[in-house]
Amino acid sequence: MSENRLKHLALIMDGNGRWAQQRGLRRTEGHKKGAETIRDITKYCSEHPEIETVTFYAFSTENWKRPKYEVDYLMRLLDNYLKNELETYRKYDIKFQVIGDTGAFSKALRHRIEATVEATETHRSLTQILALNYGGRAEIVRAVKKLCNRDEPLTEENITQALQTPYGDVDLLIRTSGEQRLSNFLLWQISYAELTFTDTLWPDFTAEELDTIIEDFKTRKRRFGGI
């Protein structure tokens, strides 16, 4: 039996707030620690020969419902993360991409995002995608509108191609913090993804745990409707 190939890994990073609250800290401290986890997991992925793409759910279209100070903190954290990460992207040959509607972000943050995309576009060892102001339904609507405007037929292939960034189907989706739901993440791309839910809160998630989850993924029987 041939092993499952893991080309596209997707992560719903959940539990930052609870991690902080359990320690008597402000929720924002959990986000800060969570950003370090993104760095560790990205490095692990860049050194994993099979993984071509890793997509992190960083901010959903629904996360605007949070208190303004938390949203503002997340925006500042993202700006800082990208500023500090440039060295890591260079050192580990990582290409940075974004999915979601960043039009709602400040001009400065949009500029930082664009500059990081440009600075890393020739990198090849791994593509790291951050889902920012991302919603799976919104992404599908945008794709369908694009096809209608171009008067192209609505086929599965055309929709897949018209998605903001057609990085291909997700092979393995992991959600931390014990919640077992998708929260509007990559709805189209996960139709045959293997799912793993772990109780670990995102700031405590490690490359070792990811390694164990990947080992388990390798042994699963993916049938894609066959027998």
The Cα 9–Cα 169 span in angstroms is 9
57 interacts with ligand IPE by CB under 6 A:
yes
Kindly state the smallest distance separating residue 183's Cβ from Mg ion, in Å: 8
The reply to whether 200 sits near ligand IPE by the rule CB under 6 A is no
Q: Which residues pair with 96 in a beta bridge?
A: 128
Written as six digits, the tokens of 89 are 């992207």
Q: Give the per-residue contact string, 98-127, with ligand IPE (x = CB under 6 A; - = no).
A: ------------------------------
C-alpha separations of 50 from 46, 99, 108, 166 in Å? 9, 22, 35, 18
Using the rule CB under 5 A, give the single segment among 7-15, 75-83, 122-130, 188-196 that binds Mg ion.
7-15
132 binds ligand IPE (CB under 6 A): no
Residue 101 token pair: 């509607």
| Three-class DSSP labels, 159-190 | HHHHCCCCCCCCCEEEECCCCCCCCCCCCCCC
List the single partner that 18 binds among Mg ion, ligand IPE, none, CB under 5 to 8 Å by kind: ligand IPE
Q: Which of 82, 137, 128, 136 is nearest to 105 (CA)?
A: 82
By CB under 6 A, tell whether 179 contacts ligand IPE. yes
Total number of residues binding Mg ion (CB under 5 A)? Answer: 1
Which does residue 59 touch among ligand IPE, Mg ion, none (CB within 5 to 8 A, set by kind)? ligand IPE
Two tokens, residue 19: 């991690």
184 flagged as catalytic: no
Contacting residue, 6, 14, 131, 133, with Mg ion by CB under 5 A: 14
Instruction: Kindly determine how many residues on this chain lie close enough to bind ligand IPE according to the rule CB under 6 A.
Output: 17
To the query of whether residue 101 is one of the catalytic residues in this protein, the response is no
Q: What x/- string results for residues 4 through 23 when contact with ligand IPE is judged by CB under 6 A?
A: --------xxxxxxx-----
Asked whether the CA dihedral 187, 114, 41, 36 is positive or negative, the reply is negative
Q: Which of 4, 16, 63, 158 is catalytic?
A: 63
Q: What is the distance between the alpha carbons of residues 90 and 171, in angstroms, rounded to a whole number?
A: 26
Which of Mg ion, ligand IPE, none has residue 57 at its interface (CB below 5 to 8 Å by kind)? ligand IPE
According to the binding rule CB under 5 A, does residue 30 interact with Mg ion? no
Burial of 67 (0-12, 13-18, 19+ CB in 10 A): exposed
DSSP string, 115-131: HHHHHHTT--SEEEEEE
Interacting residue ranges for ligand IPE, rule: CB under 6 A? 12-18, 57-60, 63, 74, 177, 179, 181, 183
Q: Which residues are catalytic?
A: 14, 63
Interacting residue ranges for Mg ion, rule: CB under 5 A? 14
